[in-house]
């Protein structure tokens, strides 16, 4: 879960050095996440929870609307899986949304599988879907709070094909965490979310302009036809070709910290200021859908 303006947060939150539970800490974060943007004119966060998520989702925006699997789900703040499919409520460049579903950092709870009811995502010109997580800038222009995700898609939940991730590390050390977005290639959870269904509505066309929508954009033409310790499960060149030609039904998002970097044979590093919780899922939007 995000810690907005980490230096400020550490200086004012006495609970940081106490033995409060993760849930208690997360609950205390809500007013910080909602109000820290008030002095920032570029922020698009919506402080009226009745506005976003909207009572009715726009019909012309193809949001993943079905939670297939969410082992980390429970009846607690940030753990309600419905928040991963109820709309996009981005907070802009410098603050995060509170309407999110938080993954674990490891184990089964580090993944969520989403789908589009009775639909499949098709491969079209340009990027084909956007993953909206919850990163934000909190320092200089290269310093972002991120909880990177690995992205895989499937037709049958047996064969999973992903986008080959590349992590550059920090100062030549791939075991060190880097707050610079350019160090993370083919990960989600890297770009801030500008799209907000309550305060910054966009057309489907504008959504697929990254500078307008934010989020992490993926093109099915870039699928990796292989398997390693980071991504891929029974993925073959034939499977990739089939997905590219016929589309996919399911998308799996997994905390990068739960997967092993094939270059180091150690788990991808994570930002240690995240209180032990994983990425925050706001939702996934497809460009074009077809009937299953």
Give domain status of residue 51, yes or no: yes
Q: Is the pLDDT of residue 100 over 90?
A: yes
State the average pLDDT over residues 101-128.
97
- Residue among 244, 226, 228, 246 at smallest CA distance from 236: 226
State the average pLDDT over residues 101-126.
97
Q: Is the pLDDT of residue 46 over 50?
A: no
pTM: 0.85
* Range with the poorest average pLDDT among 139-148, 212-221, 240-249: 139-148
Q: Strand 216-218 vs strand 250-255: parallel, antiparallel, or unpaired?
A: unpaired
Phi, psi of 29 (to 5 degrees): -75, -25
Chain segment 201-217, per-residue pLDDT in tens: 999 999 999 999 999 99
pLDDT confidence of residue 273: 75
Instruction: Classify burial at 30, counting beta carbons within 10 Å of its beta carbon; exposed 0-12, middle 13-18, buried 19 or more.
Output: middle
Considering the chain, what percentage of its residues have pLDDT values greater than 70? 82
The rounded distance, in Å, linking the Cα atoms of 101 and 25 is 15
The rounded distance, in Å, linking the Cα atoms of 205 and 202 is 8
Residue numbers of the domain that contains 57: 6-291
Q: Is the pLDDT of residue 23 over 80?
A: no
Question: What's the domain count of the chain?
Answer: 1
Q: DSSP per residue over 231-265, as a string? A: S-BS--HHHHHHHHHH-BSEEEEEEGGGSEETTTT
Q: Is the pLDDT of residue 33 over 60?
A: no
Give domain status of residue 1, yes or no: no
Give domain status of residue 62, yes or no: yes
């Amino acid at each position: 879960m995000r810690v907005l303006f980490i230096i400020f947060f550490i200086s004012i939150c006495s609970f940081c050095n106490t033995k409060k539970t993760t849930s208690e800490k997360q609950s205390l974060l809500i007013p910080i996440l909602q109000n820290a943007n008030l002095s920032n004119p570029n922020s698009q966060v919506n402080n009226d929870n009745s506005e976003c998520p909207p009572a009715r989702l726009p019909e012309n925006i193809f949001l993943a609307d079905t939670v297939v699997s969410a082992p980390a789900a429970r009846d607690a703040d940030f753990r309600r899986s419905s928040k991963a499919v109820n709309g996009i409520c981005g907070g802009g460049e410098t603050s995060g949304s509170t309407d999110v579903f938080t993954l674990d950092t490891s184990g089964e709870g580090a993944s969520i599988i989403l789908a589009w009811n009775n639909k499949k995502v098709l491969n079209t010109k340009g990027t084909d879907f956007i993953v909206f997580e919850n990163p934000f800038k909190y320092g200089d222009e290269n310093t972002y709070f991120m909880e990177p995700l690995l992205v895989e898609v499937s037709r049958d939940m047996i064969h999973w094909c992903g986008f080959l991730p590349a992590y550059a590390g920090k100062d030549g050390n791939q075991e060190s965490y880097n707050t610079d977005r350019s160090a993370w290639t083919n990960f989600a959870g890297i770009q801030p979310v500008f799209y907000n269904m309550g305060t910054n509505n966009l057309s489907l066309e504008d959504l697929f302009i990254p500078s307008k929508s934010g989020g992490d954009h993926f093109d099915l033409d870039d699928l990796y036809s292989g398997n390693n310790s980071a991504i891929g499960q029974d993925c073959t060149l034939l499977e990739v070709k089939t997905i590219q030609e016929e589309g996919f039904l399911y998308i799996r998002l997994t905390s990068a910290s739960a997967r092993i970097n094939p270059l180091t044979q150690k788990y991808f590093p994570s930002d240690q200021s995240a209180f032990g919780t994983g990425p925050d899922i706001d939702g996934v939007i497809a460009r074009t859908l077809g009937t299953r």
